[in-house]
Amino acid sequence: MHLIDVTNSYAKLVQSQLNTTDANYVKVYSLGNTSVIYTESNAAIGIALENHDRRVRKEEVDFVIKRLIKGTDTSYTLTVDQSRHVIEIHVDK
């Protein structure tokens, strides 16, 4: 699995996130068919995994957590929609 930085292809999404939320850093990655949106503010880190074609797999969630959340002792909260097409990871700083 590879996270590919596709932030430049999502300029409107990034600009919207920066203008309408308290986020000061936004990155968009591709993980195959799954999009990963990473937002960081002074208080928290938010990561959303989204796949319109199929359910997001546990392996994808584990991979993203390992690659994007620094520190092994960091606690996080997972929010999963009923269809498992969107998974949100929240980390308080």
Can you name the residues that pair with 37 across neighbouring β-strands?
28, 48
pLDDT, one tens digit for every residue, the chain (93 residues):
899 999 999 999 999 999 999 999 999 999 999 999 999 999 999 999 999 999 999 999 999 999 999 776 778 999 999 999 999 999 998
Return the SS3 of 53. coil
Please tell me what DSSP assigns to residue 54.
Answer: S
Q: Write down the domain spans for the chain.
A: 4-92
Q: In the CATH hierarchy, which fold is given to the domain comprising 4-92?
A: Streptococcus thermophilus LMG 18311 protein like (3.40.1720)
Query: pTM of the prediction?
Result: 0.91
